[in-house]
Amino acid sequence: MAVQVVEPQWPNYGVVRRLGHFGNFALSEKPFTPWCVNVRPDDPFVHRFRGGSRLGLTDISPADMMAMEADGVLMLEGGDYLLHEGTSEDIPSGQVLTEDGTPIWTEDGEEIVADNVAATESLSASVAESIRAFGVDSITAVASDGTAPTDYTLGCVYRDRLVLGGADHIVYMSRQGDWTDWDYGADVEDAQRAFLFQCSEAAEIGDTVTAIVPHRDMAMFASTKKGLWVMNGDPVDGGSLRWVSRDVGILTNTAWCKAGDTLYFLSHDGLYSVNADGSGLKCLSGDSLPSELVDINTDTVSVFLGHNHDDDGVYIFLVGDDYHWFFDFNFNGFWPFTLPAANDPEAVFTHNGQMVLYDGTSSYWTTGGDDDDGTDIESHVVLGPFRFGSGVEFGILSAIHAAIDTDTGGSVTWNIITGDSAQDVCADAKSAIEAYMDDDTTTASGYVSASGTWSDGRSFFSHPRVRGMWMAVWLYSTDKWAFEAMSLEAANAGGWR
- pLDDT for the residue 438: 97
The fold of 58-369 is: Methylamine Dehydrogenase; Chain H (2.130.10)
Closest CA to 338 of 376, 366, 308, 302: 376
- pLDDT for the residue 107: 47
More confident residue, 90 or 64: 64
Would you place residue 391 in the very low, low, confident or very high pLDDT band (cuts 50, 70, 90)?
A: low
Give the whole-angstrom CA distance, residue 301 versus residue 280: 29
Give the whole-angstrom CA distance, residue 132 versus residue 164: 12
- pLDDT for the residue 104: 47
- pLDDT for the residue 65: 66
Q: What pLDDT, in 10s, does the model give residues 282-316?
A: 999 877 888 899 999 999 999 999 998 889 999 99
- pLDDT for the residue 121: 35
Check if the beta carbon of residue 470 is closer than 8 Å to that of residue 419.
Answer: yes
Give the whole-angstrom CA distance, residue 323 versus residue 304: 13
Q: Per-residue pLDDT for 470 more than 70?
A: yes
Closest CA to 82 of 103, 99, 65, 100: 99
Give the whole-angstrom CA distance, residue 318 versus residue 298: 9
β-pairing, 145-146 with 154-158? unpaired
Q: What percent of the chain has pLDDT over 90?
A: 61
Sign of the dihedral defined by the CA atoms of residues 436, 439, 445, 451, in that order: positive
Sign of the dihedral defined by the CA atoms of residues 39, 42, 45, 48, in that order: positive
Give the whole-angstrom CA distance, residue 379 versus residue 413: 11
Give the whole-angstrom CA distance, residue 103 versus residue 92: 15
- pLDDT for the residue 264: 97
- pLDDT for the residue 28: 58
Q: What pLDDT, in 10s, does the model give residues 229-279?
A: 999 999 899 999 999 999 999 999 999 999 989 999 999 999 999 999 999
Q: What percent of the chain has pLDDT over 70?
A: 81
Rg (CA), the chain: 26
Q: What pLDDT, in 10s, does the model give residues 24-43?
A: 544 457 899 999 999 999 99
Other beta carbons within 10 angstroms of residue 114's beta carbon come to 18
Q: What pLDDT, in 10s, does the model give residues 407-434?
A: 889 999 999 999 988 999 999 999 999 9
Average pLDDT, the chain: 84
- pLDDT for the residue 132: 64
Contacts with 496 (C-beta within 8 Å, 6 or more apart), sequence order: 392, 393, 394, 469
Least confident of 132-141, 170-179, 225-234, 372-381: 132-141
Q: Per-residue pLDDT for 66 more than 80?
A: no
Mean pLDDT score, 151-164? 89
Closest CA to 226 of 238, 242, 244: 244
Dihedral in degrees, nearest 10, Cα atoms 485, 450, 422, 396: 90
- pLDDT for the residue 127: 58
Mean pLDDT score, 426-447? 97
Give the whole-angstrom CA distance, residue 495 versus residue 389: 9
- pLDDT for the residue 125: 53
- pLDDT for the residue 110: 53
Mean pLDDT score, 444-454? 97
Q: What pLDDT, in 10s, does the model give residues 369-384?
A: 999 999 999 999 999 9
Q: Per-residue pLDDT for 87 more than 70?
A: no
- pLDDT for the residue 400: 97
Check if the beta carbon of residue 388 is closer than 8 Å to that of residue 4.
Answer: yes
Check if the beta carbon of residue 156 is closer than 8 Å to that of residue 197.
Answer: no
H-helix or E-strand spanning residue 131:
helix 120-134
CB contact burial 116-149 (16+ within 10 A = b; e otherwise)? ebeeeeebbbbbbbbbbbbbbebbebeeebbebb
